[in-house]
A and B are shown apart, each in its own frame.
Chain A
Amino acid sequence: MLEVSGLRSGYGDVTVLRGISFSLDHEIFAVLGANGAGKSTLLKTLARLLPITGGSLTFRGRDVTQSQPHRLAAAGLAYVPQESNVFPDLTVAENLSIGGLIGTRTKEERLEELFDLFPALSARMRQKAGTLSGGEGQMVAVGRALMQDPSLILLDEPTAGLSPKYADALFSMISTIHRDKGLSVVLAEQNASKTLAIAHRAMVLNLGEVFVIDQAANLDTDSLREGYRL
């Protein structure tokens, strides 16, 4: 699905990612690490929103190292940023419709599936996204990405700032979309415990480098503490 080899990236002349390599199959792949580890930078780079200064990126067998973000989106990669991930002045329906601009299935068909996942959204369709609660806003952001009919979804700390109830619901939803819709998921999170509970494999980043990649079940407290420098 995704091959990442020696990836280097950052902001201007500041290099944040220093040679990240991993491959992604049909799975939930967790990206863990403390503040500043490079999790968000990695996801932005995978979505081609940051320049790749070294290494290569292959998506579904195609080298996309130099591809434009919209080409990747059209090829089936959806990205949900941590912040500013909805259009606040647009309604929920309009936000979701933007995701639906990509793909061949009808919007109605996709919306119906989406409402199965997020029943609460059906009652909010005319509401401006900026007036939603944090949890509802995240549902719209993820929903907009799912409306793209992607094969891979990148989720950047989707539970940040959410109440435990909404966070648990989102983790459960991520498992569901992987299982039922067949999506591969790259899930960046700081909270390791809940993430590892739903992930198949995980990578711990430390200051822009891979500390460890392993099966989620194999990552014990000691290795996590070391990876987080705790």
Chain B
Amino acid sequence: MTGASSATRPPGSPAAGAKTLHLHDVHKHYGGRTVVDIDDLVLGAHGIEGLIGPNGAGKTTLMKLITHVVSPDRGRIEYHSPDGTVLLTQHSPDAIARMGVVKTNQVIQDFESLTIRESLLLSLAGAEQEKFYKVLRDKAFLRRADQEIDEYLDIFTFQDPDGRAGSAGEKKLLDILRCLLLKPRFLLMDEPTAGLPQEETDKVMELMRTKTQETDLSILIIEHDLDLIWGTCEFVHFMAEGEILLQGTPSDVRSNATVAEKYLGASHA
């Protein structure tokens, strides 16, 4: 395990050609309060990584900084991929998503007027390089899209795939599938299982494991269900008060007294 100050790269450095996010001297404050203060951090060296920490640690803000929904006060956030290195802070959230760095939503967001299929089709069309109106009139694309959407709808249970997402769980699942259909190369998942039934949670996690094993997808998960983090992630980053305090395997991080201290307080570490 490594303390953050000495860990510019976690153990098990990424293979050549892998996709990683590199954060250098990234700082963000709201009012007088520092919410993110990262010296050096590499994300994505392992297939599925977890980002955990107590309330107010800065986890969601860190993801928003990466996708440039929020701008840092200072610092560099680089996306390293086989295509080269990109400074994400110079690009819009939309452009970053097109590069393959995609974030699921912590709070449910849905296209209320679209059916589940239409919503998924929109994501697939968004992953194409062409304009929407051209893509959506391309019969070959629509055939491919139907097939791809059916593959997901075969895995997950929606009450009426041709209707609108009804429950909060369906909307949450739809959000995850929309992100997957954007063909991400680095997926940031912010509390993906909140509101999902356990059966669907298990399917989502199984799918994520398969995706990272069979494709070049890297995943970073924020999740309050720590059992899920310990059981799913290959590597865990522990954050508190805006800083990455620890990095390591789930068992290493779980057994570290600092984690208990930050969650429970000093006398229960």
Contact = CB atoms under 8 A, between A and B. Distances in A.
Given A36-B191, A36-B194, A161-B56, A133 B264 contact: no
B228 to A, nearest CB: 9
User: Chain B interface residue count: which class?
Assistant: 20 to 34
Contact of A193 (B33, B169, B191, B264): B264
B55 A160 contact: yes
B263 A228 contact: yes
A184 B231 CA distance: 40
A96 interface: no
A103 interface: no
Contacts of B266: 193
Interface in A116-144: 133-134
B33 A191 contact: no
B269 A221 contact: yes
B263 A190 contact: yes
Nearest to A220: B268
B267 interface: yes
A193 B263 contact: no
A230 B259 contact: yes
Contacts of A191: 54, 263-265
A125 to B, nearest CB: 22
Contacts of B195: 11, 14
Contacts of B169: 13-14
A165 interface: no
A23 B266 CA distance: 29
B32 interface: yes
A215 interface: no
A229 B228 CA distance: 10
Interface of A: 11-14, 34-37, 133-134, 157, 160-161, 190-197, 207, 221, 224-225, 228-230
- Chain A facing B: main interface SS: loop
Interface in B153-189: 167-169
Interface stretch (B64-72, B121-129, B144-152, B219-227): B219-227
B191 A225 contact: no
Contact of A161 (B33, B168, B224, B265): B33
A37 B55 CA distance: 11
B254 interface: yes
Interface in B194-251: 194-195, 224-227, 230
Most chain A C-beta atoms within 10 Å of own C-beta, residue among B254, B265, B266: B265
B260 interface: yes
A193 B268 contact: yes
A191 B168 CA distance: 30
B106 to A, nearest CB: 11
B259 to A, nearest CB: 6
